[in-house]
Amino acid sequence: MSEGTRVLVLNAGSSSVKYQLIDMLDGAHLASGLVERIGEPSGRLVHTPHTGERHETVQAFPDHSAALKAVAEELAAEGLGLDSPELAAIGHRVVHGGMRFTEPTVITDEVLREIRRLIPVAPLHNPANITGIEVARTLRPDLPQVAVFDTAFHASMPEYAARYAIDKAVADEHRVRRYGFHGTSHQYVSRATARLLGRDPAEVNVIVLHLGNGASASAVSGGRCVDTSMGLTPLEGLVMGTRSGDIDAGVVFHLHRVGGLSIDEIDDLLNRRSGLRGLCGDNDMREIMRRAEEGDADAGLAFDSYIHRLRKYIGGYYAVLGRVDAIVFTAGVGENAAAVRAAATAGLEELGIEVDPELNSVRTGEPRIISPEYARVAVAVVPTDEELEIARQAFALVHRQQREREESGASKESGAPAKSSGSTD
């Protein structure tokens, strides 16, 4: 029986693996890192130990197996090897859990088959996640491996929010519905916001704005997601770094029929050459704000479009929730760009939404409230920690199952004589 308190979190992409080793006793990140350009002639591993200097190894990592073995060696060199009895589980970020996986799930052959069956709805992500799982299972076949799904937190959305208004039979046949993504972040941040307010998550309504290179908004009521901006794929919703977000589906037909673009070209256009990058050539908000400040018209338009869409979602989710206790900003842009937070909330005093410019300009990695005390709606900045949330969920599941096994073992032991005495009476 494992007494371990550590969880290794793996986030495998098509040519990269991110990892974090977390001790669940205190949530300490013992080591973290990234292998990138897997399968290319020259790859890179960046390893950051808990204490000490981060270091870089440049070499070829022919596949995910080679990459994970190199990660295991880095960890072993610090006495944190995968063979350590301290390791309780490996937690895997899996992007798409479909309708079936609405909770963290211990990975079995059958679970892996189901995740594979979801590839048609997540062709870019699930294959890489599966590879990560398969390699990790060969490295530690005895260890519980837990899948934590990006879609799971949004499974509580009511049907009228999850359904697209299209023919029901067609939608069902092809599993077309709004699943939502960034779920572990929305879950972690909404709960952390309730804590910041000193309130029980079960009694607060929160609008979460996860603004990274990918971006999504969600409306969370009493700890349950009731709406979110991403859909069948992460393309829907906010203006993002390189994705268009909401768009008239007619644009796709037009570009295909009139513009002569193939479906793959349109996919590439909307996912990788749109959003901020499409509007102004840059997808880094720092650069866009700098250019806009200097009077660059394209950068100014990109910033304004980004903010306009954000405000539409804030207003929409305000109406969905009816009462809003907090609006929270997270991820790269949300945590760092005071100008985005100010512009997204400007002029909404009538709705009880206000930001204190001084509090907004404070730079710190700590969760904080940036609205004045008298404001009806708290505006907050809460750094997200998806890896900690994955580790937490994986650890909780493994422990629960362990306890259940122990209890059923104990009841069998104490039950056996009782039964036999009963049968002889």
Three-state DSSP class for residue 380: strand
Q: Is 18 annotated as a binding residue?
A: yes
Q: DSSP labels for 172-208?
A: HHTT-S---S-HHHHHHHHHHHHHHTT--GGG-EEEE
To which residue do tokens 């950068």 refer?
A: 299
Beta carbons of 69 and 51 less than 8 angstroms apart: no
Give 132 or 241: the residue with its C-beta nearer to ligand AMP.
241
Q: Which of the stretches 186-194, 249-257, 282-290, 390-398 binds ligand AMP when contact is defined by CB under 6 A?
A: 282-290
- Is 213 annotated among the ligand-binding residues? yes
| Identity of the residue numbered 201 | P
Answer whether 327's CB lies under 8 Å from 353's CB.
yes
Question: Phi, psi at residue 258, to the nearest 5°?
Answer: -95, -40
User: Residue 68 region, left (φ>0) first, then alpha (ψ -120 to 50), else beta?
Assistant: alpha
Give the integer Cα–Cα distance in Å for 311 and 58.
43
Residue 236 or 325: which CB sits closer to ligand AMP? 236
Say if residue 275 carries a ligand binding annotation. no
Here the tokens at position 251 are 């644009």
302 near ligand AMP, rule: CB under 6 A = no
Q: Which of 49, 241, 245, 275 binds ligand AMP (CB under 6 A)?
A: 241
Q: Least distance to ligand AMP from the beta carbon of 31, Å?
A: 19
Rounded to the nearest whole angstrom, what is the least distance from the CB of residue 210 to ligand AMP in the complex? 8
When CB distances to ligand AMP are compared, the closest residue is 332
Query: Whose Cβ is closer to ligand AMP: residue 144's or residue 212's?
Result: 212
H-helix segments, 118-182: 126-139, 159-162, 168-173
386 marked as part of a ligand binding site: yes
Stretch that binds ligand AMP, among 55-63, 198-206, 327-335, 397-405 (CB under 6 A): 327-335
**Helix 386-424, helix 183-196: angle, nearest 10:** 90
Binding part of the chain for ligand AMP, among 104-112, 134-142, 297-305, 332-340 by CB under 6 A, reads 332-340
> Considering 23, 109, 142, 150, which one is annotated as catalytic?
150
Q: Count the residues in the chain.
A: 425
Q: What is the DSSP letter of 388?
A: H
Near ligand AMP by CB under 6 A: residue from 208, 219, 285, 370: 285
Q: Does 336 bind ligand AMP (CB under 6 A)?
A: yes
Site for ligand AMP in 201-240 (CB under 6 A): 212-213
Q: Tell me if 331 contacts ligand AMP by CB under 6 A.
A: yes
Active site residue 150: yes
**Tokens linked to 128:** 């890489």
Stretch that binds ligand AMP, among 16-24, 187-195, 284-292, 392-400 (CB under 6 A): 284-292
In the chain, the amino acid numbered 36 is E
List the one residue from 107, 332, 341, 379 that touches ligand AMP (CB under 6 A). Answer: 332
Q: Report phi then psi at 181, rounded to 5.
A: -140, -175
CA dihedral 123, 214, 212, 354 (to 10 degrees): -140
- Out of 113, 254, 286, 323, the residue judged to bind ligand AMP by CB under 6 A: 286
d(CA 195, CA 371): 16
Instruction: Just list the catalytic residues.
Output: 150
**Binding residue positions for ATP:** 18, 210-214, 284-286, 332-336
Which residues are near ligand AMP by CB under 6 A?
A: 212-213, 241, 283-286, 331-333, 336-337
**Binding residue positions for Mg(2+):** 11, 386
**Binding residue positions for substrate:** 93
